[in-house]
Structure 1
Amino acid sequence: MRERIDYRALFAATPSPYLVLGRDLVIVAVNRAYLLATARTRAELVGRYIFDAFPDNPADPDADGVRNLSASLHWVLRSKEPDTMAVQKYDIPVTGRPGAFEERWWSPINTPVLGPDGQVEWIIHRVEDVTEFVMSRLPRERWAGVLGEREAMEAELYARARELQQLNEELRKAHARERQIAVTLQEAMLQSPDLAGHQDIAVRYMPAAGSLNVCGDWYDVVDLPCGFAVAVGDVVGHGLEAAAAMGMLRSALSAAVRALHEPARALEVLGLYARSVEGALATTVVKAVIDDQGHRIRYSSAGHLPPVLVHPGGSFELLDQATDPPLGARPRHVPRPQAELPYVPGDTLVLYTDGLIERRGEDIDVGLRRLTDTLTRHTRLAPERLADMLLARLGVSSGGRDDVALVVVRL
């Protein structure tokens, strides 16, 4: 069920000064920012005709605030369209000093709110206090006069700049909150409890540069009676939708391999499950099961890039003998292939997603060769250092165009 929004609380907390008028121009609501800007209380304003609450300054023979604001409000009532007024000198009464007024300059906007009958039911009156700017720009002898065209334009720009500054600050805070939520969500979905028992496995997760730190790439490490299993996968797309699909697929594959112990059979189960998960089709994933007693690797791939097995002497093998289409690519269920090969202690197995090696306008084989060249030159590094070296040498240590998941296993 969707959470109900408390619009009264939102209105009260809005940092810009707002006042709401009825059709009769009687004040029906004000927010805290408006009360602060005018040094009034809610009891002094709500229920009063706006021009009784804010009359012209009788000591200023050139005062035209009431006339200009009234013209704008009545135009809004007739046209049902918003009206942005020019910067306006409109002095306000000083609380506790009858007859005393304080000079103020404002940048007002009046916006209609239509009722069910299509007529204006309310008018939202928003103002920005630009007094400080106007007085800092005008000679003292012109403070009480009418703004010239240039000064009016500068004051208007100042008001809009302040408004944009406030909005940018609000957006920055909102983005920071969303990013923290996203990071927490991704970390929760990528937890691998069994990983803590493997000191010779390094994992890395790098979201695409500029993203909210959530994506569809994943890695996983699962302990099995015969050894352990590792996997990486890549859901098409970025953001929360891809992350949601990733979380479901990752959990399903982890459960499947725990029950079946064979990578191909686990991927078959995952393929069937993926048909019921929105956004899961065309996902690529590779699963490898390491038999640490028999020193053998069994693997199966659903359209994923081949893992690399690097030997201490610098040679390597691509695990590309059991590759099948991505999840959901076939209309009917077909058993997936599985292959195996031996390894010797000290070998290094590397699984990765395409963001590590793929570059726009470049053949994927070029990126794969860049990866294998780096691995063969630095294969004796410990897994943690090797993982960092790969990210740095392949240019994604600070994030790239695509998400990256990386698993480095010292066998």
Structure 2
Amino acid sequence: MPIDYAAVFQALPGAVALLDTELVFVDANLAFLRQAGRSRDQVVGRFLFDAFPPNPGDRGAAGARNLEASLRRVLVKREVDTMALQRYDVESREQRGRWEERYWSPVNAPVFAPDGHIVLLIHRVEEVTELLRVSGRTGGERHLEAELYSRMRELHQVNERLRKAHAREREVALALQRAMLPVPAAVGQHRFAVRYRPAVGSLNVCGDWYDLVKLVGGDRIAVAVGDVVGHGLAAAGVMGQLRSALSATSRVARGPAQALEVLGRYAHSLEGAQSTSAVTAFIDFDQHTITYSSAGHPPPVLLRGAGGADLLDQATDPPLDAAVEPSPRPEATVSFTGGDALVLYTDGLIERRHQDIDTGLGQLLDSLDGNRHITTPEALADAVLRDLLPAEGMTDDTALVVVCL
């Protein structure tokens, strides 16, 4: 059924007027006319400040000046402008020359044509005069309440600007994250998949990382994931430094425990790296073994091709830089057979608010075991994300690595 937008406009419960770019009224809905105490003929087709002139008896009145400045900002910046509370007196309909003290909360917004230029300005106002009128209050008290209300509106504007600044920082941080987390180069003939899912509607992004590197001596690779405490550009910068350090350390370390020990010493000197968690596994395809070590990170999972999935949780230690003096870290070794898969991930995959982490781990094991018939790491990674991540997204970012063994 076609929508009668003109009827919708008139039925809106909020007071809304439309102005052209010369600030002339093009239309006004019934709520606006009732609120302003004007007829349609007294408004439409007239310049805004002819229809609603400022109070000539109040030389300090700034309502009209502030309103025009807001509308001009909309035309220049091409974005919504939410004004602080304004005192804007209105001439009485019953007695010309008598001005009524009124308080308004205005919002102004642009309307764009298909080619991108502004064709109209939406002027929405909410009158709050009655909220400030309490029996027995003096004019000074009402002004004080209006000032308090105005400060609340200004705080809202500050919060809105901060939200936009945070959104821009989030986009920059994600771009940096993507640049520092490309799909790893091939590691021999081994098949693997990596996934990164940023948090939705949140700044808790850009602290997770993954890495795969070819090790010297035999058919061996190192696989790692980590999670920096923090968010945004700062976390992305720390993440990049730790990822690079662990990648370099793994190539020369005797095993994953030593690699994490050295990384912990480095984290001790790196601002923002405190309490970072990480897990790394050295896979030896000649010996069919996985040697792993965890620094406060959720355990990897070994998915058995014959059925079942095992948590690799026998070599867990505190996060990086958790101890005053770094000490040797534990490591453990487990055997695998052809057709198995190793899965590493960050806590965004399994942790949920108001849910025990063991529940999330159980859901991960069930998902992996239920999808073990999938033969490609790419398809398995996608299946796990579908099973565990809600459609609306998560409040924490998630990294996932699947290596076919």
> How far apart are residue 367 of structure 1 and its match?
1.2
Determine the structure 2 residue equivalent to 1:194.
Answer: 185
Tell me the SS of whatever aligns to 2:229: strand
C-alpha change, 1:179 and 1:304, in structure 2 (3 Å) is closer
Tell me the SS of whatever aligns to 2:380: helix
C-alpha change, 1:243 and 1:198, in structure 2 (3 Å) is farther
Determine the structure 1 residue equivalent to 2:255.
Answer: 262
Q: Distance in 2 between matches of 1:330 and 1:220?
A: 25
> How far apart are residue 183 of structure 1 and its match?
2.2
Determine the structure 2 residue equivalent to 1:288.
Answer: 281
Superposition map of 1:42-61 within 5 A: none
Determine the structure 1 residue equivalent to 2:401.
Answer: 407
When the two structures are aligned, how many residues end up with a matched partner?
Answer: 293
Q: Distance in 1 between matches of 2:210 and 2:390?
A: 17
Determine the structure 2 residue equivalent to 1:108.
Answer: 66
Determine the structure 2 residue equivalent to 1:29.
Answer: none
Determine the structure 1 residue equivalent to 2:244.
Answer: 251
Q: Which runs of 5+ in 2 are unaligned?
A: 1-21, 24-49, 74-92, 109-122, 126-152
> How far apart are residue 161 of structure 1 and its match?
4.8
Determine the structure 1 residue equivalent to 2:201.
Answer: 210
Q: Distance in 2 between matches of 1:273 and 1:167?
A: 39
Of 385, 388, 392, which aligns to 2:386? 392
Amino acid across the alignment from 2:205: V
C-alpha change, 1:370 and 1:129, in structure 2 (3 Å) is closer
Of 212, 215, 225, which aligns to 1:221? 212
Q: Deviation string for 1:194-224 (max 9, x for gaps)?
A: 2576662111112222135732111111111
Amino acid across the alignment from 1:337: P
The question of whether the paired residues in 2 share the 8 Å contact of 1:262 and 1:289 is answered with yes
Amino acid across the alignment from 1:230: V
Determine the structure 2 residue equivalent to 1:350.
Answer: 343
The question of whether the paired residues in 2 share the 8 Å contact of 1:218 and 1:250 is answered with yes
The question of whether the paired residues in 2 share the 8 Å contact of 1:182 and 1:213 is answered with no
Tell me the SS of whatever aligns to 1:215: coil
Q: Distance in 1 between matches of 2:190 and 2:314?
A: 29
Q: Deviation string for 1:57-116 (max 9, x for gaps)?
A: xxx9xx8777644xx2xxxxxxxxxxxx364xxxxxxxxxxxxxxxxxx3438xxxxxxx
C-alpha change, 1:180 and 1:330, in structure 2 (3 Å) is closer
The question of whether the paired residues in 2 share the 8 Å contact of 1:107 and 1:129 is answered with no
C-alpha change, 1:108 and 1:360, in structure 2 (3 Å) is closer
> How far apart are residue 361 of structure 1 and its match?
2.2
> How far apart are residue 241 of structure 1 and its match?
2.4
C-alpha change, 1:294 and 1:127, in structure 2 (3 Å) is closer
> How far apart are residue 273 of structure 1 and its match?
0.5
Pairing 1:304–2:310 present: no
Q: Deviation string for 1:8-35 (max 9, x for gaps)?
A: xxxxxxxxxxxxxxxxxxxxxxxxxxxx
Amino acid across the alignment from 2:332: A
The question of whether the paired residues in 2 share the 8 Å contact of 1:207 and 1:403 is answered with yes
Q: TM-score, normalised by structure 1?
A: 0.61
The question of whether the paired residues in 2 share the 8 Å contact of 1:261 and 1:289 is answered with no
The question of whether the paired residues in 1 share the 8 Å contact of 2:169 and 2:232 is answered with no
Tell me the SS of whatever aligns to 2:365: helix
Amino acid across the alignment from 1:370: Q
Of 176, 181, 202, which aligns to 2:172? 181
Amino acid across the alignment from 2:221: F
Q: Distance in 2 between matches of 1:386 and 1:362?
A: 25
C-alpha change, 1:347 and 1:397, in structure 2 (3 Å) is farther
Q: TM-score, normalised by structure 2?
A: 0.62
Q: Distance in 1 between matches of 2:288 and 2:397?
A: 32
> How far apart are residue 285 of structure 1 and its match?
0.8
Q: Which is greater in Rg?
A: 1
Amino acid across the alignment from 2:277: T
C-alpha change, 1:173 and 1:328, in structure 2 (3 Å) is closer
> How far apart are residue 307 of structure 1 and its match?
0.6
The question of whether the paired residues in 1 share the 8 Å contact of 2:288 and 2:336 is answered with yes
Q: Percent identity?
A: 53
> How far apart are residue 240 of structure 1 and its match?
2.4
Tell me the SS of whatever aligns to 2:185: helix
Q: Deviation string for 1:169-206 (max 9, x for gaps)?
A: 98897666544422220112223542576662111112
Q: Distance in 2 between matches of 1:284 and 1:219?
A: 12
The question of whether the paired residues in 1 share the 8 Å contact of 2:256 and 2:291 is answered with yes
Amino acid across the alignment from 2:202: S
Tell me the SS of whatever aligns to 2:239: helix
Q: Distance in 1 between matches of 2:54 and 2:362?
A: 76
After the TM superposition, which of the residue ranges 256-265 and 188-197 deviates more from structure 2?
188-197
> How far apart are residue 298 of structure 1 and its match?
1.2
